[in-house]
Amino acid sequence: MTETLPTVMAAEMRVLDPLVSAQKLLALIEGAHKNGILELLAPGATIPAITTATKLEAGVVAAIVDALVVGGVAENDNETFHLTKDWQAVCGPIGVRPLPATLHGERVGAELLRHVGTGDDYWSVSTDDRVALAASLSPDPIQGSLVPTLPAQAAAGEPLPAAASTANRYLELGCGVAGMTLSLLQAFPQLTVVGVELSDDLADEAERRAEVLGLRDRFTVVRSDAADFDDEEPFDLGFWSQFFFAEHTRAGALRTLFDNIRPGGLVAAPIVHPIGGEPDAVLRRISLLRVSTQSWGVPDRTPEELVEEFQTAGLVDARAVGQGKRSMLVLANRP
Ligand SMILES: C[S@@+](CC[C@H](N)C(=O)[O-])C[C@H]1O[C@@H](n2cnc3c(N)ncnc32)[C@H](O)[C@@H]1O
């Protein structure tokens, strides 16, 4: 088929323009958060009020607000502009993490995709960016929105909160900035955790957060490869962020779990592989994350493959749970 310039331009309008606009709108939202416009739009504000508060030029404010309206972020009621209901929710304090943390981490993730295949990866970005990326992948334990929901999740039999509500010693391999762990520690006061983390800067951030939350006495961070960790005292529960573990590190991490979890203890690992039926937005996110994880040498395990990997490591009763939910896990027990 011979394309003509008009058909190419029409195709650009259909497929390229929406993506370009979305990229720029996301950047504008980050800017509008930094200069305080989003905060002013939450309760609602007029252009003159935003101009006075931000000290930006009135024309610039009007253009920003107009772009936010056209982009579906804000709407107006006569002269007063405010965030739409969904954006009120996204910008508010109830989410699993503050919006700026999500935007910064996602920007780093996008930048890594731009460099995919060049050798630049998770380990070669700046400390600031690596911490931001890690923080955007887990709940913010200081904002703590997840914490009050965890006892109810435990009572409803959600596997990780349920196990954490009765365990005393919890081992997390690849604890990163410890978003989930520090949330669990706040919800379940009997719990103590040892987190093992390869990256020093993420370990620093995990310790800083624990300090802020007054949880240093129940949370220890060990800076090492998961394969090299060993403790004299066994753990009741193990958690393995397997979707960040490169192929060559996996057998060693599983050996550590086998050697350090008590007989009968539970081992859990999250899985991000699509199993069918996910909404388009979720499928797109998973497929883009997979580009990065594949480029870091992390295999894309199906639930069945992860079950088999657990069995090969000597763990028993391996099973996938939570299919189709936000948190799909593979569980197994130490024989
Ligand atoms: C997705 S993050 C964990 C997030 C954490 N669950 C949270 O809630 O914040 C996975 C972590 O595993 C770490 N990691 C990857 N390979 C590792 C290894 N061989 N030993 C120890 N940590 C490792 C990475 O540095 C990364 O921080």
In the structure, what pLDDT confidence band is assigned to residue 31 with cuts at 50, 70 and 90?
Answer: very high
Instruction: Kindly indicate whether the domain formed by 5-91 is annotated with CATH number 1.10.4190.10.
Output: no
176 lines ligand 1 (CB under 6 A): yes
CB-based burial, 73-109: b 16+ in 10 Å, e otherwise: bbbeeeeebbbeeebeebbeeebbbbbbbbbbbbbbb
298 lines ligand 1 (CB under 6 A): no
Determine how many CB atoms are found less than 10 A away from the CB of residue 71. Answer: 16
Q: Does the pLDDT value for residue 99 go beyond 90? A: yes
| Superfamily of chain region 144-333 | Vaccinia Virus protein VP39 (3.40.50.150)
Q: Give me the amino acid identity at 192.
A: T
Q: Which of 129, 142, 173, 198 to mutate to test the pocket of ligand 1 (most atoms within 8 A of CB)?
A: 198
Q: Which residues contact 68 (CB under 8 A, 6 or more apart)?
A: 28, 29, 32, 37, 41, 74, 81
CATH 3.40.50.150 location in the chain: 144-333
Considering just the CA atoms, what is the radius of gyration of the chain in Å? 23
Q: Ligand 1 centre from 152 Cα, in Å?
A: 27
268 lines ligand 1 (CB under 6 A): no
Q: Which of 16-20, 235-239, 248-252, 285-289 has the lowest mean pLDDT?
A: 285-289
**Percent of the chain scoring above 70 in pLDDT:** 99
Q: Does the pLDDT value for residue 125 go beyond 80? A: yes
Q: Ligand 1 centre from 272 Cα, in Å?
A: 15
Q: Which of 143, 184, 245 to mutate to test the pocket of ligand 1 (most atoms within 8 A of CB)?
A: 245
- Look at residue 2 in the predicted model and tell me its pLDDT: 76
Q: Does the pLDDT value for residue 71 go beyond 80? A: yes
Q: Ligand 1 centre from 195 Cα, in Å?
A: 9
Query: What is the position in ligand 1's atom list of the atom closest to the CA of 181?
Result: 8
pLDDT digits (tens, 9 = 90+) for 42-52: 999 999 999 99
Q: Does the pLDDT value for residue 146 go beyond 80? A: yes
CATH 1.10.10.10 location in the chain: 5-91
Q: C-alpha distances in angstroms, 302 versus 184, 285, 306?
A: 27, 16, 6
309 lines ligand 1 (CB under 6 A): no
Residue closest to 161 by CA, chosen among 141, 140, 137, 191? 191
Three-state DSSP at 42 gives coil
- Is-contact 120 112, C-beta < 8 A? yes
Q: Does the pLDDT value for residue 11 go beyond 90? A: yes
Q: Ligand 1 centre from 225 Cα, in Å?
A: 10
- Is-contact 184 191, C-beta < 8 A? yes
Q: What integer is the mean pLDDT of 135-143?
A: 96
Instruction: List, as own/partner pairs, every contact residues 229-232 make where C-beta atoms lie below 8 angstroms and the sequence separation is at least 24, other chains included.
Output: 229/173, 229/196, 229/256, 229/260, 230/256, 230/259, 230/260, 231/171, 231/194, 231/260
